[in-house]
Structure 1
Amino acid sequence: MTRADHRYALRTGVTCLTVPGGAVLLNPPHNEKLTGLTAPQSAALKTLNRGPATGTELGAESDSVAPLLDRLADAGWLQVTVRDGDRDLYTLRPFATPRARTAAGAARPLSKFTVIHRDSEGLVLEHPASWCDLRIHDPRLLALAAGADPAELGLPEHLSSQLAADLAWGGFTADPAAESGDFTTRSWSAPDLWFHRRSTLGSRTVTWDGFGPTKWAKDEFPQLPAQRPAYPGAPIALPVPDLESLRTGDPSLTAVLEDRRSCRAFDDAHPVTLDRLAELLYRTARTRAVESTPDGDELPSRPYPSGGSVHELELYPVARNVEGLAPGMYHYDSFEHVLRPVADADSPAVQRLLRTTTATLADAAEPQLLLLISARAGRVMWSYESVAYANTLKHVGVLMQTLYLAATAMGLGAVAQGFSDTAAFTTATGVDELEECNVGSIVIGTPAG
């Protein structure tokens, strides 16, 4: 329903080319030709080209303009701000082709996937599967998050009905019974679906603006150095394996791929040794070289791949039963190939980190050695927008596989965990979680039997 006091604007990215009696709406790869326009319709489009305008300013009282505005809004060419007199309530901002409107039914609560959050422009209501965002201007609408019926917000009946209809049209509301009764919908959690849609190309993201390796921070913040600042403890030198001998003595790639298994039972009477740990770290995670770009960026090279060669991952061995190494938590300095002490073995945080593995290991045993993987988030987030954390998790995956295969070639047992205690990691390291966070863990040891 077109209303004289609502405000209309061309959707972001849309260009309107007007010619006598017609116009072309462009938003690559989409376009729409408008022909046979009346003089009031042409005038309304020219006004929209100059910027946002109310229905009155666009001539919505004309019999021809109101249907045109409704048609363009329903097709997603316009963003519409619904107003109560001169007070802005909300704005529908399309970023894809809208779904067809359906007959208005009873007001429904917000979907479990709908999120209200603040961004640089204010408050916004979003749904990962929607074709639009609903920008909130009136704080009364926040009551929706608490389950308020739109009719209870103190709005005139026609606006309350329009809000309920727009929420349903945008896919922001849902039948709770349907969301919990359907396996496909119920199986997705809100964070998982949001993460999936926000870190991939799709209807919301169709260009590389604000997506991918934009180096958005380049002109505002310095890039973090490739080498992590050293922990203060005295370093423990690690032996360097003979890679040339390993090239000929190792089992074949096919053999280690076929022989790789997750090992959940370990021989504590014959624990992994410091030399074996050193070899595993050297073969999988050492920094082989660092390339400096003309812009001053540092791009390390390691045995596993990393998007943009940023290599934000760090390894923290937590030793409980490692021959030749005192129990405790260490950091592997991949540049110097040394271990640096981080936390004592009797630290409550270290004990918690070890206990989290008991759900993974046979007979609720504790590990000989736990390798924690952390991410220095700024290394990847300095360059990447929207996909930074997704890239980090992909990096964790390739490092996990590298550790698995090297451990198999060495005759060691390994089992990755699908979780770890991120709070205990933060406590043990004393590092702000937003600067460096735990993103993976894998147990290493001498296999039983």
Structure 2
Amino acid sequence: MRIRRCAVLYLEPREDTAFDLGELLQGGDGIRRVRRWLALAPHLGDEVEVDAAGRELLGALSPTQWIDPGTLDAEVAAALPRLIGLGLVVTDAAGHDALRQRDESLRAVHWHPLAATLHAFTRWSGVNTVRNSQDSGTETAVAMREVLGAPPVEAASVTAADDAVTLPRILPNDFDALLARRATCRNFDAQRRVPFEVFAQVLQRVFAAQAEVRVSDDLVFLKKNVPSGGGLHPMECYLIVQHAEGVAPGLYHYHATAHALEPLPVPDGRSWEGDGLRGFVMDMVAQQHWFADAHVLVILAPRFDRTFWKYRHHAKGYRVVAMEAGHLSQTLYLSATEAGLGAFITGAINEVQVEQAFGLDPIHQGALAICGFGWRAQAMETAELDPGGEVWRLAAEPGSA
């Protein structure tokens, strides 16, 4: 058997604190502090506590060179069985295939180490954002101000007012009117269905390939209506369709070149009967009930291996992937607004549940955000930011949405 350290590993010294009455009664500040070392290895996705012997061994092993464990100092080697069991040290032994393959999979995608760690350890599982806001007393803007204090100024100035060059305000045109109506929708009308043609047009404008450049049999660049780092367009779109004409409620993958929906199976333990699909949506969007009735939701799930094929171990690779989600979101907002629909995007999602439901491996392809669109409700039950009154003034007019 040979061993080596896993490909990417960071060690974090962490201090956990808790109130301790005994500490207070003894004249202290009443805070009990426990210091631990946590190993952060992206191929595992879970924090692992390590002791001093484990830290020493991890620091002694190479992530690239295989060695015979018999060459290790006996005192240091005592920590080896636990680290192998955790997957922080990998072996070429047949009994440890799964953890070794997981580590090799991460190596093969060419992640930048910091980006891999960020992605792996900022994913949520089972988070309820509404309850968290309630518990922290930050449900409303007024409450946030009271709890958090004053935020940084809304528009920063970096020079004296007398030095500023005042620009002319240009008269608005139709595009400006469209931009003015672009506002995040938090009130959807679940009683209406999006027409099939409108549904298809929004997907075509936002996510479809408009043209392609074939360099070779296995190298093709797509032209879409959004920019993409290196022109690689790694973003795959997985849909949750709830209220669209001609499309059965359920899960789908959108094929960008075929402009087609590929039906996906119902995840184990789930049912779309009754409110089953809506409940599924609630779990995916971390209980943000204001998005639960959206007619169509789109999981933005980049294929990291496609971007990192070019940008190998690149410090900016993950950043350009995240930027692409923003480009797609704004294009969706404008396309939906032009069609008379509302749209949204949220990064507050339970990525782990999304990945499990859609069969995604976060090393190769992970959920980054969820956006969606549909008919806006006639009444505002959840506050929307529309200071110009463009959306809700129009929504109050007969026949508008």
- TM-score (norm: length of structure 1): 0.43
When Rg is computed on C-alpha atoms for both structures, the one with the higher figure is 1
More strand as a share of residues: 1
Higher relative contact order (CA 8 A, sep 6+): 2
